[in-house]
Chains A and B, each alone.
Chain A
Amino acid sequence: GENVEQHPSTLSVQEGDSAVIKCTYSDSASNYFPWYKQELGKGPQLIIDIRSNVGEKKDQRIAVTLNKTAKHFSLHITETQPEDSAVYFCAASPERFGNEKLTFGTGTRLTIIP
């Protein structure tokens, strides 16, 4: 089955700087890669996703890049703000009909230092 590795496990950055979180996956059939943000006591919130027919996707301060050949994808947050502090999870899924299963990375605790 799919295995997703996520690094780093913790990340502290100064407010205004950029943060990068990296994930690798093992199943070449995976073609859907969402990123979730989880705040304390809440469920995961989808912040951005990318599909295998796209190499990069951007939404305001958040961007995701995908390298299918190397089987890795990354989350980039620019101009970080205190409200970006949370745990971030990457995930992978073979997005074919009948499979809604996400395999998650182990999470990155991001702390923004004011």
Chain B
Amino acid sequence: KAGVTQTPRYLIKTRGQQVTLSCSPISGHRSVSWYQQTPGQGLQFLFEYFSETQRNKGNFPGRFSGRQFSNSRSEMNVSTLELGDSALYLCASSLAGGYSGNTIYFGEGSWLTVV
């Protein structure tokens, strides 16, 4: 069974540009979450999608957005990139759906460097 797949793995962008990251969840998983990991702030929750709807949102500016498609695949977008957006962006997926034991699995991440 394939795990959570993220693309691209590495990318370099210039300040002011925008970037789109893609995530394919584990087959059958309906919830997709995004996290930002930096040395200074650690792992921080960005947002979570379930059935194409954003259910939860972390404390990030509106430049960070996402969406989920009908096949549960998800994308996140960061507009007007800043140097501080350089980070490892992690996608996670889970079955979701109540008190069923929602184990959350992470992908390998997308390394974004803003120059």
Taking Cβ atoms with an 8 Å cutoff, the residues of A that contact B are 32, 34, 36, 42-46, 49, 51, 89, 91, 93, 95-107
> Within the assembled complex, what's the spacing in Å between the Cα atoms of A29 and B82?
35
**In the complex, are the beta carbons of B31 and A100 less than 8 A apart?**
yes
**In the complex, are the beta carbons of B108 and A100 less than 8 A apart?**
no
Q: Name A34's closest neighbour in chain B (CB-CB).
A: B104
**B contact face: mostly helix, strand, loop, or mixed:** strand
Task: Assess A46 versus B105: contact at CB under 8 Å? Given A101-B56, A101-B58, A103-B45.
Answer: yes
Task: Assess A36 versus B106: contact at CB under 8 Å? Given A101-B48, A104-B42.
Answer: yes
Task: Assess A100 versus B106: contact at CB under 8 Å? Given A95-B99, A107-B42.
Answer: no
With a CB–CB cut-off of 8 A, which chain A residues contact B102?
A: 32, 95, 100
Stretch in contact with the other chain, from B13-21, B64-72, B73-81, B90-98? B90-98
**In the complex, are the beta carbons of A43 and B107 less than 8 A apart?**
yes
B55 in the interface (beta carbon within 8 A):
yes
Contact with A along B102-115 (1 / 0, CB 8 A): 11111111000000
Shortest C-beta distance, A103 to chain B (Å), equals: 7
B83 in the interface (beta carbon within 8 A):
no
> Within the assembled complex, what's the spacing in Å between the Cα atoms of A105 and B42?
8
With a CB–CB cut-off of 8 A, which chain A residues contact B107?
A: 43
Which of A46, A89, A104 is within 8 Å of B103, CB to CB?
A46
B43 in the interface (beta carbon within 8 A):
yes
With a CB–CB cut-off of 8 A, which chain A residues contact B42?
A: 104-107
**In the complex, are the beta carbons of B43 and A45 less than 8 A apart?**
no
> Given A36-B106, A97-B99, A104-B44, 17 more contacts at CB 8 Å?
A34-B103, A43-B106, A43-B109, A46-B103, A89-B43, A91-B43, A95-B101, A97-B98, A98-B50, A98-B56, A99-B55, A99-B56, A100-B48, A102-B92, A104-B42, A105-B42, A107-B42
